[in-house]
Structure 1
Amino acid sequence: MIRKLYLLPLLSVALFSCAEDQDNGYEDIDLSERINAGGETTIFSTTTNSFSSPAPNLSAAETDNHFVGDLLFEASFVTAPAQVNPGLGSIYNNASCINCHPRDGRARHPTNVNSANGLLIRASLFGTDEHGGPVPVPGFGLQIQNRAVSGYVPEAAYMASYTTQTETFADGTTVTLRKPNIMLTDTYLPLPPGVMLSTRLGTPIFGLGLLEEIPEANITARQDINDSDGDGISGKANFVWNPFTHQTELGRFGWKANTASVIVQCAGAYVEDMGITNPIFTLESGHGQTNGGIPGATPEVDMETLEKVALYCKTLGVPAARNTNKPEVKNGAKLFEQLDCAKCHVPKQVTGNASVAALSNQTLYPYTDMLLHDMGEGLADNRPDFMASGSEWKTRPLWGIGLTNLVNGHTDFLHDGRARNIEEAILWHGGEAEKSKNKYKNLSAKQRSDLLEFINSL
Structure 2
Amino acid sequence: MRRRRYWLGLPLSALVLTAVWADTRRRPEILELGALVAEPEPGEELVGGGATVVEAGRNAFGRAPPNMPREKWPEFHLGKRVFDRDWSEPTHVAPQVGPLFSAVSCMTCHVKDGRGRPPASAAEPPVSLVFQLGAPGGTGPHPEYGKQLDAHRLGAPRGEGRAEVTYEELDGEFATGEPFTLLRPRYRFTDLSGGPLGADVPFSPRVAPANFGLGLLEALPEETLLALADPDDRDGDGISGRPNQVEDVTEGRKRLGRFGWKANQPSLTQQVAHALVIDMGLTSEVYPRAPEPGAAEATAKPEVEPYDLERLVLYNRLLAAPRRRNWTDPTVLRGKGVFRALGCAACHVDRAMETADVPGFPELSRQSIRPYSDLLLHDMGEGLADGRPDGEATGREWRTPPLWGIGLVETVNGHTRFLHDGRARNLEEAVLWHGGEAAPARERYTRLRREDREALLAFLGSL
Superposition map of 1:319-334 within 5 A: 319-334=322-337
- Which deviations, in whole Å up to 9, do the C-alpha atoms of 1:47-103 show, x marking residues without a partner? 1001111011112232221111011101111165x3353321111101000111110
Q: Among 436, 451, 459, which residue is 1:446 paired with?
A: 451
Mapped partners of 2:441, 2:38: distance in 1? 23
What is the CA-CA distance between 1:177 and the residue it aligns to? 0.6
Superposition map of 1:21-420 within 5 A: 21=36, 27-78=37-88, 80=90, 82-111=91-120, 115=125, 117-125=127-135, 134-151=139-156, 153-190=158-195, 191-192=197-198, 194-287=200-293, 291-347=294-350, 348-355=352-359, 356-420=361-425
SS in 2 for 1:171: coil
User: Is the deviation greater in 181-190 or in 276-285?
Assistant: 181-190
Amino acid at match of 2:58: T
What RMSD, in angstroms, separates the aligned Cα atoms of the two structures?
A: 1.7
What is the CA-CA distance between 1:154 and the residue it aligns to? 1.1
Q: Which runs of 4+ in 1 moved over 4 A?
A: 12-15
SS in 1 for 2:187: strand
Amino acid at match of 2:206: R
Cα distance 1:310–1:426, how it changes in 2: closer, same or farther (>3 A)? same
- Which deviations, in whole Å up to 9, do the C-alpha atoms of 1:226-260 show, x marking residues without a partner? 11111111100000011122211100000000011
In the alignment of these two chains, the number of paired residues is 431
- Ranked by relative contact order (alpha carbons within 8 Å, sequence separation 6 or more), the top structure is 1
What is the CA-CA distance between 1:112 and the residue it aligns to? 5.7
Amino acid at match of 1:253: F
User: Is the deviation greater in 242-251 or in 420-429?
Assistant: 242-251
Find the counterpart in structure 1 of residue 12 from structure 2: none
Mapped partners of 2:107, 2:145: distance in 1? 24
- Which deviations, in whole Å up to 9, do the C-alpha atoms of 1:97-142 show, x marking residues without a partner? 01111100001222367646211000012687xxxxx411112111
- TM-score, with length taken from structure 2: 0.90
Q: Which runs of 5+ in 1 are unaligned?
A: 1-11, 22-26, 129-133
Cα distance 1:127–1:454, how it changes in 2: closer, same or farther (>3 A)? same
Mapped partners of 2:77, 2:149: distance in 1? 32
| Contact 1:31/1:324 (<8 A) preserved | no
- Which deviations, in whole Å up to 9, do the C-alpha atoms of 1:143-199 show, x marking residues without a partner? 110111214741111122221211210111111111112232221112356321000
Amino acid at match of 1:402: G
Mapped partners of 2:346, 2:56: distance in 1? 28
What is the CA-CA distance between 1:435 and the residue it aligns to? 1.2
| Contact 1:93/1:116 (<8 A) preserved | no
User: Is the deviation greater in 192-201 or in 342-351?
Assistant: 192-201
| Contact 2:182/2:429 (<8 A) preserved | yes
Mapped partners of 1:172, 1:254: distance in 2? 38
What is the CA-CA distance between 1:277 and the residue it aligns to? 1.1
| Contact 2:372/2:404 (<8 A) preserved | yes
Mapped partners of 1:13, 1:306: distance in 2? 54
Find the counterpart in structure 2 of residue 3 from structure 1: none
- Which deviations, in whole Å up to 9, do the C-alpha atoms of 1:434-454 show, x marking residues without a partner? 111111011011000001001
| Contact 2:377/2:393 (<8 A) preserved | yes
SS in 1 for 2:43: helix
Amino acid at match of 2:325: R
Cα distance 1:388–1:127, how it changes in 2: closer, same or farther (>3 A)? farther
User: Is the deviation greater in 144-153 or in 247-256?
Assistant: 144-153
- TM-score, with length taken from structure 1: 0.90
Q: Which runs of 5+ in 2 are unaligned?
A: 1-28
- Which deviations, in whole Å up to 9, do the C-alpha atoms of 1:398-435 show, x marking residues without a partner? 00000110000000000000000000000000111111
User: Is the deviation greater in 318-327 or in 147-156?
Assistant: 147-156
| Contact 2:245/2:254 (<8 A) preserved | yes
Amino acid at match of 2:200: G
Mapped partners of 1:307, 1:68: distance in 2? 10
| Contact 1:90/1:152 (<8 A) preserved | no
Mapped partners of 1:127, 1:358: distance in 2? 46
| Contact 2:379/2:396 (<8 A) preserved | yes
Amino acid at match of 1:261: S
Mapped partners of 1:35, 1:340: distance in 2? 21
Cα distance 1:420–1:67, how it changes in 2: closer, same or farther (>3 A)? same
SS in 2 for 1:359: coil
| Contact 1:32/1:324 (<8 A) preserved | no
